[in-house]
Amino acid sequence: MVTAVALVAFGFVMGTALISDTAASSGSSTVLMPQQALQTPIPLDSPALVTDTERLFADIYNRVSPSVVSINVVATAGQDSPFSDSGLAFGSGSGFVIDQQGYIVTNNHVVDGAQDIEVNFFDGTIVRGEIVGLDPDSDLAVLRVDLPADRLHPVTFADSNQLVIGQTTLAIGSPFGQRWTLTSGIVSALDRTIEGLGRFSIGSVVQTDAAINPGNSGGVLLNLQGQVIGVNSQIISRSNSSSGIGFAIPSNLVQRVSRELIADGEVDYSYLGIVGGDVDLAMIEAASLPNNLRGVVIEQAEAGGPASAAGLRNASNFVNVNGLERPRSVDIVTAIDGIPVAGMSSLISYLASNTIPGQSVNLTVYRDSQQVVVPVVLGARP
């Protein structure tokens, strides 16, 4: 059985394959009509059988669920789809309201290619959604619905740079079509990297063991203040369902991307123009580096790109270390604007969340056993 990284929209596998909603039911389960299936707020004046932690979870659920939406999508089926009789494919995911103008954040892979988008609210309201902008590089999208401001309940965001491993997380979404499902876990790791839908990776991703399944895509990952710390997006799984390794796009990147999609319909990312990787043991041995050095190894500075123009150098003088080719002469980025760079993930995240094309940044570079500061004027992603 092969372990795979899976996008967690329900109904699509990479946007093409259909999974019937009936797959979520088995045995003698009762099928509820939509009006019966509406979630009922959990009473907080229950007997002492409910612990303080459970009351807190219930309170957060009751406060945030009106901000969370369930999204149903009709899209054009791929040419090789087994469901090509109608030429359509059906999928679902989650999203959340970010302001009282009707803007909603979800994942790009939930709504890309959609012909029709249905947005379901916690109070039973159902409306059409329109795509405002898509950003494959971050796998984020912004929709808009036409509702009065007093019927929209925006989320609040936390600073994802302040997260710590071990803190409690809560996820609300529609796994396997089961709307407004609450699951809990912890921040299992920080500074993860996942693939975007374009040429570029997504950095500083939050890893959680809160159950995330197909249909959770685009839903919220929360802290115990009920603030959004990330957007649930991918899982690693052998079964295409939760195995305790889920990934959420960090809230700081979500805020930057949503602002630009609303303003311009696209995101204008900065570009450094390098191919790089993290420092590993073979690299340390090949280049005689300090064994606690962390940073981004510049394997190649793209000819004519910002890094090359600033004087950053390609790796050279390669040697074999236990079957691995590693350079003896190399530039290693250890900080950007004075902020330490642990690896490629943190460099990608800083550039995506904090910089724009044309901006100048100062890279601290470990070169020839010395730290040097190299100013770089960033370009725009091609």
- Section 170-192 average pLDDT: 96
Catalytic amino acids?
109, 139, 217
Confidence check: pLDDT of 207 > 70: yes
Q: Which fold has domain 1-18+50-265?
A: Thrombin, subunit H (2.40.10)
Write the CB contacts of 143 (distance below 8 Å, at least 6 apart in sequence): 71, 95, 103, 104, 105, 106, 111, 117, 119, 129, 130, 131, 132
Q: pTM surpassing 0.75?
A: yes
Q: How confident is the model at residue 4 (pLDDT cuts 50, 70, 90)?
A: low
pLDDT of the residue at 198: 84
Domain ranges of the chain: 1-18+50-265, 270-380
Q: What are phi and psi of 370, to 5 degrees?
A: -130, 155
As beta bridge partners, residue 133 has 142
- Residue 88 near residue 76, CB atoms below 8 Å: yes
Q: How confident is the model at residue 195 (pLDDT cuts 50, 70, 90)?
A: confident
Degrees to nearest 5, angle at CA 110 with 89 and 214: 85
Confidence check: pLDDT of 88 > 50: yes
- Section 55-63 average pLDDT: 97
- Domain spanning 270-380 has what CATH number? 2.30.42.10
pLDDT of the residue at 214: 92
- Residue 147 near residue 128, CB atoms below 8 Å: no
Left (φ > 0), alpha (ψ -120 to 50) or beta: where does 220 sit? beta
Q: Report pLDDT digits (tens) over 250-261.
A: 999 999 999 999
As beta bridge partners, residue 380 has 270
pLDDT of the residue at 58: 97
pLDDT of the residue at 308: 96
Q: Report pLDDT digits (tens) over 338-378.
A: 999 999 988 998 999 899 999 999 999 999 999 999 999 99
Per-residue exposure over 136-157, b if at least 16 CB sit within 10 Å of its own CB, e if not: bbbbbbbbbbebeeeebbbbeb
Confidence check: pLDDT of 150 > 50: yes
